[in-house]
Structure 1
Amino acid sequence: MIATKLFKEFFESEKAGGLVLIACTIVSLVLTNSPFGTDYQLFFHSKFAGLSVEHWINDGLMAIFFLLIGLELEREIYIGELSKIKDALLPLLGAIGGIVLPAGIFLMFNYGTETQSGAGIPMATDIAFALGILSLLGNKVPTSLKVFLTALAVIDDLCAIIIIAIFYTKTLLWINLFIALFIFGLLLVLNRLKVRNLIPYLLGGIAMWYFMLHSGVHATITGVLLAFAIPFGNGDEKSTSYILQHFLHKPVAFIILPIFALANTAIVVSGDITHTLAENNSLGIALGLIVGKPLGIFVVTFLAVTLGLCKLPTDLHWKSIFGVGLLAGIGFTMSIFITLLAFDDETIINNSKLVILLSSLAAGLLGFISLRQTLKQTAD
């Protein structure tokens, strides 16, 4: 399997970005639990142009992150690993298994309680962290495994966006939503008219983001919609989509996601952590990410291959798929993102973030150990 230049670039930026995310998370945790903790948190709650700094990061900068995810997904669908149904089915079905089972485990502990809205938390995979851990295994990792994890995580994030739009929209202002969708329609018309200049798409995207922000639907949806409005052409280095995707890689990996980590991992560690981890909400998140993710991905893909719906690449083994399933349990960015939408209570949000962090760390370590052992056996 030959990886495209843009995929390699995407993988390289994401894996390096994952290491930067780890550093930013450590800095944020240390500052929050230091004498400067109160001032550090107050900074992100300070207002700028009518919105808090945290709001600008989570609704504004993250829309750019989702724009990059959308562009990558578009490329995979048109000319990449998702362009052939047989190839696309493996990560697609794996992603579905890795969404349904974690949500089911969470609801098993939380259905009918005030925390049941957190069912979306263990569904997501953090691309940057997952690829960052995978990169630590070096050249022993088959390209097909990198592609499988990337495709799985991208599909995961797309499903997370859909879930956010459907289940985490509390009130709708229809006029603003219709205006946002009307702008999206105009951008699609520009696409059909073969307008290749990026400027009208970016200006239209900003306007669409503004009205989506004030519609009740989460504004980050704009990023994915804009990605599919931008002309793809034949996907070569001169195409509008390629140019923008190439440009966004490093700012997203090294600026946007680290800023998100600094703003959203300001977790206060206090009280009885054992009691916190024993709460139903915590158990649902932890077991959903650490157990539900790998089992859901493994079982569904195994059944799909057994039934002949798709095939396993020749250089992959089922142990590798399970190891990647463990890495997919690194929820971090997306899990924290959904936590902020699911809950209003600051204590529940803080405790959920702590559990997400610990669960993602456990999933990453287990995935790394599992894959290192599996790849070593394969090499021998």
Structure 2
Amino acid sequence: MIKKFIVIEDFISKEALSGIILFIATIAAVIVANSSLGEEYYDLWHMPLGITLGDKTISMSLTYWINDGLMALFFLMVGLEIKREMITGELSSISKASFPIVAAIGGMAVPALIYVALNPDNFIGFGIPMATDIAFALGILMLLGTKVNPSLKLFLMALAVVDDLGAVLVVATVYTSEIKVEYFLHAGITYALIWFLNYSGVKKILPYLILGIFLWIFIHEIGIHATIAGVLLAFAIPISSKIDEEEFINKTRESVDDFENNIDNIPILNHHQIDALESIAYGYDKVQNPLLRLEHNLHGLSAFFIMPLFAFSNAGVLIDFSTISANLMIVLGVVFGLLIGKPIGIFGFTYILTKLRIIKKPENISWYEVIAVGFLGGIGFTMSIFITHLAFSNETIIAAVKLGVFAASFIAAIIGVMLIMMKKKA
């Protein structure tokens, strides 16, 4: 239990720092976009880049390489988190998972319905207010320190994992271009090979990643958003290590004893000690869980490089409120979805189903805190911006929606913090 708590705290602390870096990257993007360097800023991200493999060329702008390529690694990490939580974490049993799952479903359904109600003839943007930015939300909780109930962090994290899964399903099924059926066979064979590695007991990560690149290419060619390749790959990464903990302990103990028994007066290690250390290192590699090892390696890359780069390349928007008036209902659908739909959905669904005795609220979380999490869930930000670029191609609409996302996320964060502070004083 202590080990698990330390891992969770490390995860949350990284998300918190990532949230701060994301905020800085976003502010920098807005400043640059509205400065004398604005034209160079936009030209940079629209610069075309291509990769040629045989007679096949994939060419996209720099922004699309970030959104389709690097974000596939982010979604790989998301998939790994989802798989881990479903196997050993907060979603590993019905009793633990039911409350955050219902909260997440409510937090996705109500914002989407609000958006569609306001935009019945232009409902394609319904996925924008469904998303929660876990880095920002957890970042705020961490900045509040001891004022926050620790169980609240676990609840928000579990809710966000389910929310991410919902976002993945929406991206995969709704925001796709023209489907090219012939590439389904290529993608299917590649994915089957990846699972064959799993069933064959292959624990090395590299073969999975190599086949994952081909999976990304084929899914991109199908017309489905290529980031889905990351999630599919994640579910095929093995969960079990090559040797179990007991075997590792026994072999390590033997190697340590061997190291100790061969101590001499020479100030450098002898070959017996070197062999003992290599044996320990070998066991260290074999006892590690491939899924957790890959997730750990990707988490820093995602938190401190991919997401800040995504924010800096996508958050730059000209502050022109005329774009909002020209697309008022779309913006209101996003703003009301995040600011009103999220807290109503998260609190309302869990409250009703708890009263109906279908689910049970954790005893260490109050309904007041559930409402606070509902508002923090309204921080859409990077995921909302990501879906905005999938939903719309008109730059004026995209700019207006971004301003709406910024405003709603900021107000939702303020209200969430105020509720938590008021709860602490009470």
Which band: TM-score by shorter chain?
Answer: over 0.9
Match of 2:126 in 1: 119
Aligned 8 A contact 2:147 2:420 in 1: no
For each residue in 1:257-301, what CA deviation from the matched residue of structure 2 results, as whole angstroms up to 9, or x when unmatched? 00000011110112547736x811111000000000000000111
Q: Does 1:295 align with 2:344?
A: yes
**278-287 or 36-45, which moves further after superposition?**
278-287
Aligned partner letter, 2:126 = A
Match of 2:30 in 1: 29
For each residue in 1:101-127, what CA deviation from the matched residue of structure 2 results, as whole angstroms up to 9, or x when unmatched? 101100111001xx3210111001011
- The percent of aligned pairs where both chains have the same amino acid is 43
Cα distance in 1 for residues equivalent to 2:398 and 2:366: 38
Aligned 8 A contact 2:78 2:231 in 1: yes
Q: Does 1:16 align with 2:17?
A: yes
Aligned partner letter, 1:186 = L
Match of 1:82 in 2: 91
- Say how many residue pairs are matched: 374
Change beyond 3 A, Cα 1:344–1:195:
same
Aligned partner letter, 1:242 = L
Cα distance in 1 for residues equivalent to 2:394 and 2:93: 45
Cα distance in 2 for residues equivalent to 1:320 and 1:200: 44
**183-192 or 279-288, which moves further after superposition?**
183-192
For each residue in 1:149-200, what CA deviation from the matched residue of structure 2 results, as whole angstroms up to 9, or x when unmatched? 1111111111111111111113111122331232112111211111101111
Q: Secondary structure at the match of 1:217?
A: coil
Aligned partner letter, 2:107 = G
Cα distance in 1 for residues equivalent to 2:9 and 2:288: 18
Cα distance in 1 for residues equivalent to 2:400 and 2:211: 39
Match of 1:262 in 2: 312
Gaps of 5+ in 2: 51-58, 246-286
Taking structure 2 as the reference length, what is the TM-score of the superposition? 0.85
Aligned 8 A contact 1:230 1:240 in 2: yes
- Give the counterpart of 1:216 among 223, 239, 252: 223
Aligned partner letter, 2:8 = F
Q: Does 1:69 align with 2:119?
A: no
Using the TM superposition, give the Cα deviation of residue 38 of structure 1 relative to its aligned residue in structure 2, in angstroms. 0.7
Match of 2:364 in 1: 315
Aligned 8 A contact 2:104 2:159 in 1: yes
Aligned 8 A contact 1:28 1:265 in 2: yes
Moved over 6 A (4+): 234-237
Aligned 8 A contact 1:87 1:310 in 2: no
Aligned partner letter, 1:258 = P
Q: Does 1:363 align with 2:412?
A: yes
Using the TM superposition, give the Cα deviation of residue 5 of structure 1 relative to its aligned residue in structure 2, in angstroms. 3.4
Show the 5 A alignment for 1:1-380: 3-49=4-50, 50-112=59-121, 115-233=122-240, 238-272=288-322, 275=325, 279-377=328-426
Q: RMSD in angstroms over aligned alpha carbons?
A: 1.6
Gaps of 5+ in 1: none
Cα distance in 1 for residues equivalent to 2:305 and 2:311: 10
Cα distance in 2 for residues equivalent to 1:126 and 1:290: 13
Using the TM superposition, give the Cα deviation of residue 142 of structure 1 relative to its aligned residue in structure 2, in angstroms. 2.5
Using the TM superposition, give the Cα deviation of residue 221 of structure 1 relative to its aligned residue in structure 2, in angstroms. 0.4
Using the TM superposition, give the Cα deviation of residue 351 of structure 1 relative to its aligned residue in structure 2, in angstroms. 0.5
Cα distance in 2 for residues equivalent to 1:265 and 1:62: 15
Cα distance in 1 for residues equivalent to 2:154 and 2:214: 34
Cα distance in 2 for residues equivalent to 1:252 and 1:274: 32
Q: Secondary structure at the match of 1:51?
A: strand
